[in-house]
A and B are shown apart, each in its own frame.
Chain A
Amino acid sequence: MKVKLSVSRAREQEVRAALAAHGIQVDEDADLVLSERDRSADCLMVRDRETRELVRLPAEEIVSVESFGHTVEVYARDGVYRSGERLYRLEALLGPERFLRVSNSAIVARDKIRRISPALSMKFTLTMADGRRVDVTRSYYYIFRERLGI
């Protein structure tokens, strides 16, 4: 049996040992996930878009996460990565304190927003730390305002 771990670093070794004692292997590509309650992930396991190399990406380096069809791309300061997780799972993993859902296909890091450009209609365009622009759609307009207190 294989499981994927989503626990804090402090408890990772303990959990790995416990699972190994019961013959359960830890695998990043496993279908089953063992996650710690009420915990935001410190990092994500992603694959480099170019080299396909598996990378442990710290959450504080993530600028935004966007989905394009079945593909989920993670934009960090130093490159672009791909995740096998669905967007709603990543939103839960990364935690609402640091990351905001701004559309059906995008999550942004709150502290990586550099500028907010409102439109005449109920939309915003966010300029992120890496220079990319992400739109806050009408559906998320009020949620976004509520979260930022504007």
Chain B
Amino acid sequence: MDLISLLLPILLAAAGVLLAGAGYFLLYRWNVNRALAAPDRRRLRLPAPCRVLAALAAALVLASLALVIAQLSGPARLTDAGGIERDVRQSQNVGSDWTVEIGLDGRAAAVLAYDPRKEEHVFSVYVNDGGTRPDYVFRYGGKSTSIQRGIRAFELEGATALISMNALGIAAVESHGGARYEVAPNRPFAIVIPGGGYDLYDSAGDLIDPARSGWYERTQVR
């Protein structure tokens, strides 16, 4: 639960209540003194300011309670790697002895969980739906032969998630924008790199063509 997203609307509403109360008080005072100046004219009968303020305060309390209950009862937001790992382990029944690799940036999260013998895996791809405030939402998941035997790329706007059990022995990924990501050549990985294309290299620095393995899959993420 994001404390700021909870407190900010309540504080704004409280400020609004105070302003409304002050405005009503001025209106009430004006109305009362008009009655003094022109006693024979029909007058709008306004309730006492304390009653109006009490009603506004009660409405504010009820609205705040409703907001808190809605926040507490709603699904938890996934905002960091820890939260994503917990979600993966719980939702995909990942064993406690499995390793979870997570690659995270502001746009997406790539997750690969695998058993100690690297014979089984599950993957997940989350997309950040929260804008400036992280809120990763699950988009893809399960098992993939491409991931087990080659590499699978999930392409979204401005980023690419690369997930692989690293049967190809990839040691580095270099985006066409110039960013370089080192990975252990004998270890599965899940990373998120800037969009716009990339190259794969082995530990000797030679270029790897993932298509030659026959297990290279690209998925457009909407």
Binding site for B on A (CB under 8 A): 113, 115-118, 120-122, 124, 141, 145, 148-150
Contacts and interface: CB of A to CB of B under 8 A. Distances in A.
Contacts of A113: 36
A71 to B, nearest CB: 29
Contacts of B154: none
Given A148-B39, A150-B43, A120 B50 contact: yes
A124 to B, nearest CB: 8
Interface in B25-51: 25, 28-29, 31-33, 35-36, 39, 43, 45-46, 48-50
Interface residues of B, number: 16
B52 to A, nearest CB: 10
B33 A116 contact: yes
B145 to A, nearest CB: 73
A148 B29 contact: no
Contacts of B25: 118, 120
Contact of A148 (B36, B46, B49, B50): B36
Contacts of B31: 150
A75 to B, nearest CB: 19
A150 B32 contact: yes
27 contacts: A113-B36, A115-B33, A115-B36, A116-B29, A116-B32, A117-B29, A118-B48, A118-B49, A120-B25, A120-B49, A120-B50, A120-B53, A121-B48, A121-B50, A122-B50, A141-B48, A145-B45, A148-B32, A148-B36, A149-B35, A149-B39, A149-B43, A150-B31, A150-B32, A150-B35, A150-B45, A150-B46
* Ranked 7 nearest A-B pairs via Cβ: A150-B35, A116-B32, A150-B32, A122-B48, A121-B50, A148-B35, A149-B43
A118 B35 contact: no
Interface of B: 25, 28-29, 31-33, 35-36, 39, 43, 45-46, 48-50, 53
A95 to B, nearest CB: 16
A116 B35 CA distance: 10
B161 to A, nearest CB: 59
Nearest to B41: A149
B130 to A, nearest CB: 42
B10 to A, nearest CB: 22
A145 B173 CA distance: 81
B28 A116 contact: no
A150 B43 CA distance: 6
Contacts of B53: 120
B36 A118 contact: no
B32 A118 contact: yes
Contacts of B36: 113, 115-116, 148
Contacts of A148: 32, 35-36, 39
Contacts of A150: 31-32, 35, 43, 45-46
Most B CB contacts (10 A, CB to CB) among A115, A116, A117, A122 go to A116
Given A115-B36, A145-B45, A150-B46, 14 more contacts: A116-B29, A116-B33, A118-B25, A118-B28, A118-B29, A118-B32, A120-B49, A120-B50, A121-B50, A148-B35, A149-B39, A150-B32, A150-B35, A150-B45
